Structure 1
Amino acid sequence: MGQQLIDYSLEIQPFPTYLEEDIDFFNNTISRFSIEQSHNKLVVTATSLVERNFDLQPNIFTSEICKKTTIKDALNEFKKGTEETLSVYEFTLDSQFIKSISSEIKEYAEISLQPERSIFEATNELMERIFKDFTFDSHFSTIATPLEEVMKAKKGVCQDFAQIGIACLRSVGLPARYVSGYIETLPPPGKEKLVGTDASHAWFSVYIPKFGWVDFDPTNNQIPKNQHITVSYGRDYYDVPPLKGVLYGSGNSKMKVSVDIRPAKNTKQQQHQQQQQQQQ
């Protein structure tokens, strides 16, 4: 809710021998392809037209359920084993990059995540603390850096901060998931926005029974709104990298990524509505 895909295209060069679209275990749309010819360059370009309207989502700031459901309430609800709670149970379990949660992470989590506190209020505080306590450092970590090292150094990148938040929430028994997407960056006042300067991004969600998933962005200390574009959900980064695969070859390789997010002048949906109005 609050985000709708209007149009999408995927261009791959060289042209793939095999290409298919599928739905993964987490209900994400994925594309699988194989290039069975020699090549020295692979270019994958995904272009999407997305309508994003935060106001169309359930209002997390005024919802009584969202504001009043405590961590203790949620844990009691999960014990009932209802269809709703069973559907999110897997997000309380260990995952590839978030397992054997350390005592240091548990102690960090317990400062905010007390049983009698509202899930929303406590998680919002946790997000603020991660933002203040950790330093963004793009040179510190890789996708393989253990969370314990990130916790000790108090630095990393968006995927690290998202996974720290998830680990904290799971340590007290709450379902938490990893959100992969993009974020629109704004240029300094009076400056033009450069092409390709937006970024792939990650944040986390916590599940509130009878309400649903609520997103938090600890890298920017904010509730994701219209500048955040969701691409996929998973248990951690391992489930939802933007691009992964196997490369056969004897040479070295390197990857270059460019992201560009811009407001559409006129979406296809708007065009359709305008055409209908003109016909009436």
Structure 2
Amino acid sequence: MVLDVTHTTHYRYSQPAWDSFNELWLQPTDDHRQTRLAFELDIAPKVTVRTHRDRFDNLIHHFHLPHDHTELVITARSTVVTYETPAPLAVSARTLPELRHRFFEFLAPTARVPLNENWHRVFGALPLDPEGDLVGYVSAMTSYLHGRFTYAPDATDVNTPLADFAQHASGVCQDFAHAMLALCRSSGIPARYVSGYIHSKPRGDERLIGAEASHAWVEAFLPGSGWVGFDPTNGCLVSPAHVKIGHGRDYDDLPPVRGLRRGGGDSSLSVTVQVRHALSRPAPPSSDA
């Protein structure tokens, strides 16, 4: 599937802002299930952009805007080819102890995914059978969270604790992903947070949820298959409709945009995301010349 992604972030300030430092996690990655064909970043006001890679090898664009401005517009345009991947192979949960040291970073608690709760009890989810199949269990948890919770864009914000999401039973893809990380890590399954996009193509009589903004899902490490993507918001395996930006321990490792500024007074933020088939782009106007 060839997909075009346009992601626009627009800040408005009631007073001039200056010394704006920003980091952007907006460029799709190249890996075994997708190829990045193009990426373009436009920033207004114009500014010099540099890049570096973080500890998880995600590419970050960063810039400093020193002079006064009352608006900041960041537009990222990408074209990506995504591919079908084989279904994960069945593997016993008895393999998990072998992964503890190798993937400790994706088993440890974080501020957004604390492990001081019995998350299986909190979410009403069944624990992992020590003799069971990992693929079946992670797939079941993906379906369970999709059915147990309601996707509601205004129900939570970026700082809503996981326990509040469990209590209110509604939230956004970030909440679903953090809930699944808690269940996987509590079970000893290495799991990492993935940031990206999703194309809301029809799936039977349904449409995939979350295309109107950045999307998030989980990759679990399954011996014999490697890192496998599961989307609890939609209750499915990751498919060619998913475009990956990068991964980390939780949302804090790769927010789409993170920055600091001086001044600015009150601010407002609007974000628009569009994901569409590249072949649906309008043709250029014809010429009679």
2:120/2:127 contact within 8 Å kept = no
Q: Percent identity?
A: 32
Corresponding residue of 1:13 = 44
Between the two structures, name the one with larger relative contact order (CA 8 Å, sep ≥ 6): 2
Normalising by structure 1, what TM-score?
0.81
- Matched residue type, 1:238: D
CA distances 1:91-143 after superposition (whole Å, capped 9, x unpaired): 00112311134124456476152211111100110111111111122222112
Deviates further, 230-239 or 253-262: 253-262
Q: Label 1:173 to 1:260 Cα distance change in 2 as closer, same or farther (>3 A).
A: same
> How many residues were matched structurally?
244
1:42 aligns with 2:72: yes
Aligned counterparts of 1:112 and 1:188: Cα–Cα separation in 2: 30
Distance 1:115 1:108 in 2: 20
Which one of 134, 152, 160 corresponds to residue 137 of structure 1?
Answer: 152
- In structure 2, stretches of 5+ residues that fail to align are 1-31, 205-210, 281-289
Aligned to 1:238: 252
Alpha-carbon spacing, 1:208–1:121, altered in 2? closer, same or farther (3 Å): same
User: For residues 52-131 of structure 1, what are the structure 2 equivalents within 5 Å?
Assistant: 52-54=82-84, 57=85, 59-61=86-88, 66-67=89-90, 69-75=91-97, 77-78=98-99, 81=101, 86=102, 88-105=103-120, 108=123, 111-131=126-146
RMSD: 2.3
The amino acid of 1:225's aligned partner reads: S
Uncovered stretches (5+) of structure 1, i.e. residues with no partner: 190-196, 267-280
1:211-263 deviation digits (Å, cap 9, x = unpaired): 20111111111111111111110111111110011022142111111111222
Distance 1:219 1:181 in 2: 13
- Structure-1 separation of matches of 2:122 and 2:255: 29
Higher helix fraction (1 or 2): 1
Q: Which has the higher strand share?
A: 2
Q: Encode CA deviations 1:61-103: one digit per residue, 9 max, x unaligned.
A: 5xxxx21x1222222x225x5xxxx2x3210011231113412
* 3-state DSSP of counterpart to 2:95: helix
Residues 236 and 109 (structure 1), Cα distance of their counterparts in 2 relative to 1, 3 Å cut:
farther
1:170-202: CA deviation from partner (whole Å, max 9, x where unpaired): 01211110010001124899xxxxxxx743111
Structure 1 segments of 4 or more deviating over 3 A? 104-110, 186-189
Q: Report the Cα distance in structure 2 between the residues aligned to 1:241 and 1:145, rounded to whole angstroms.
A: 15
Closer, same or farther: CA 104–98 of 1 in aligned 2, 3 Å: closer
Task: Give me the whole-angstrom Cα distance separating, in 2, the residues matched to 1:250 and 1:200.
Answer: 25
Amino acid aligned to 1:15: K
SS of the aligned residue for 1:141 comes to coil
